Amino acid sequence: MRVGLAGPAPLRVLAPGESARTPEVHAGFFCHDLDSCIQSLHDHVRRSVLLREPAGKELRVEVNHTGYTRNAQITEMQLHEEIDVAADVGVELFMLDAGWFGEVSERWYDSVGDWDSESLLLPAGVKAALARVRERGMLCGLWVEAERMGVASRLLRDHPEWQMTHRGRKIANLDLANPTVARYFEETIVGLIEKYELDCFRIDYNASFHEGGEMERDGFIENNVWRYYETFYTIFDRIHERFPNLLLENCSSGGGRTDLGIMSRYHWTQVTDNWSPIPTLKIINGMSLSLPPESCMTLLGAISDGVTDLDFLLRIGLFGHFCVSGVFPAMGERQMMARERWRHAIDLYKGFVRPMLNTCRIYHHTPVQYQHEPGEWVVLECASADQARGYAGIFCLPGAKTEAYHFIPKGLNPGWRYRLTYDSSGTTREVDGGYLVDHGMRIAVKGAATSELLLFEAL
C-alpha cells in the first residue's frame, strides 16, 4: 500500500515556524467474506470516525420540505400545511431547506450567501414557521449552503475579494484559506444556530471548485485546497464543541463529500439527489458497503419520480437514516389508507429498527447493482449484534425473471427459534433458525417494483 499527497503543486508553503499536519488516512487489511469485511469496516467507522448523536436525539425521523415543492416555490400556507402533515404521521425533525432566505425568491440558488434576509414568500418569517414546528412537537432544522456566493447575492457584490481565484479566474466560493473569510464563515453559522435556536444544522454544497483557488505565499503560488479543508474541519470541530446537543447533517448535491474527514464532523449524510425509488434503492445498497447504514440518508416520498407501490418506497428508508420529502399536500387531502402505511412504516422504524440500527450487522445479499440496467432483485438484511432480532427487505426490480426470491438469512442464530412476521400481510409464524440458515425460504412478491419486509424476533 502506498499513500501520498496529490494535487497541483505546491500544496503547502510553510512560513518560518509554521507547521502542517497531513490529512489522516485509514488503512485496514481484511481477509474474509464480503459481509464480514464490510462489518469490520463499519465497526471501525462507528468507533473511530462518526460523531455520536446527542442523547435523546438519535436517528430522528425527518422530513425535508424543499424537494417536494421543487425549487422551494412554497407559500407560507403550504409550508404550514406540510408541517402539520409531518407531525400527523409521526415525524420528529422538520428540515426547512432551500428557499427560506434572500430577496431573489424565484431563484434561491442565485441568492445563497444572503443569510441575514428572509424569503418574501414567508411574510411571517422563519421564526414563525419554526415555532409551528415546535408546537407540533418536532425538532427544528435549517439548510444553509454556507460556502457559496450566489451570483445575485449582496455577499458577492459587497465582498468580491472573498472569492477563490484560480489563474486569474474568480470562483464564487468563499476562500476559507483567507483568515478574514474563515472568521466570517464561522460567525455566520454560529449566528444562524443561535438566532433560530436550531436542533439540527444542515450544510449543503451544490458546486465544485475543481482544483480550488490559489494564493501567493513568499513568492510561491500555493494551491489552497489543503488549507481550505483544514480550516473547514477546524471550524466544525469548534461548532460541535460549542453546541454539543446540535445535530449536524451533511449534504453535497446528494452523495458528494462522503469522505471520512467530512463524516467525522457530521452525524449523517444524504447519499443521493436521485429521488426515484429503484435508483435510490441501488444507491443505498452501494453506499452501505462503505458507510454504516445509520449514517446514510435518502429522501423519498411524494418527491419521488418513477412508479412503485408505497410500501416499496417506505421500506427503503428502513435501511438508513429515515427521511422523507412530501407525504400529502395538506391535511384535508390525506388518503387514509396511505396515511396508515406511512404511520406504520414510521412506527416500525422507531420501535423495531432504530434501537438496533447504530450497532447492527448489515448483509448485502445482492451487492453488485448497475444503474444502467433494470436489475432483478435488491435484498438487504440487518441483524442486531446479539442476533436477537433482524429484518430483511426483498425488493423486486423490473428485470426479475422469477416471481419469488430464495432468501437465506445470514444474521440469525441457528440454535434459536424466531417469530417471523411478513409485514405485507401481518402474518406471523414460528421458524427454526437452523433450518432457515441451512435451507432458506421462498419469498414471493406481487411483481416488479413491489417488495416484502421480513421481521425476525428471537423467542
Q: Tell me: do 424 and 316 sit in the same domain.
A: no
- pLDDT above 70: residue 69: no
- pLDDT above 80: residue 48: yes
358, 385, 401 - which closes a domain: 358
Arithmetic mean of pLDDT over the chain:
94
Spatial neighbors of 245 by CB under 8 A, at least 6 apart, are 54, 57, 199
358, 393, 425 - which closes a domain: 358
- pLDDT above 60: residue 352: yes
Q: What is the mean pLDDT of residues 280-292?
A: 97
Looking at residue 305, its pLDDT comes to 77
Distance, in Å, from the CA atom of 443 to the CA atom of 452, rounded to the nearest integer, reads 8
59 burial (CB, 10 Å; 0-12 / 13-18 / 19+) is buried
Q: Tell me: do 309 and 251 sit in the same domain.
A: yes
In a domain, 15, yes or no: no
In a domain, 34, yes or no: no
The pLDDT tens digits of the residues spanning 409-436 come to: 999 999 999 999 999 999 999 999 999 9
Q: What is the mean pLDDT of residues 213-223?
A: 94
Q: Residue 330's pLDDT band (boundaries 50, 70, 90)? A: confident
In a domain, 181, yes or no: yes
The pLDDT tens digits of the residues spanning 134-191 come to: 999 999 999 999 999 999 999 999 999 999 999 999 999 999 999 999 999 999 999 9
Q: Residue 302's pLDDT band (boundaries 50, 70, 90)? A: confident
Q: Tell me: do 342 and 449 sit in the same domain.
A: no
Domain count, the chain: 2
- pLDDT above 60: residue 333: yes
The pLDDT tens digits of the residues spanning 376-389 come to: 999 999 999 999 99
- The grid cell for 147 is 460556502
Across 7-16, 97-106, 280-289, 399-408, least confident range: 97-106
Looking at residue 68, its pLDDT comes to 59
Looking at residue 113, its pLDDT comes to 95
Distance, in Å, from the CA atom of 290 to the CA atom of 287, rounded to the nearest integer, reads 6
Looking at residue 62, its pLDDT comes to 98
In a domain, 33, yes or no: no
Across 78-82, 118-122, 192-196, 284-288, least confident range: 118-122
Virtual torsion, Cα 143, 146, 150, 153, nearest 10 deg:
90
Which residue range(s) make up the domain with 422?
A: 362-458
Q: What is the mean pLDDT of residues 313-334?
A: 93
Q: What is the mean pLDDT of residues 200-223?
A: 93
Spatial neighbors of 377 by CB under 8 A, at least 6 apart, are 366, 394, 395, 396, 397, 400, 405
Q: Tell me: do 315 and 226 sit in the same domain.
A: yes
- pLDDT above 60: residue 402: yes
Q: Tell me: do 145 and 234 sit in the same domain.
A: yes
Looking at residue 5, its pLDDT comes to 87
Q: Tell me: do 346 and 399 sit in the same domain.
A: no
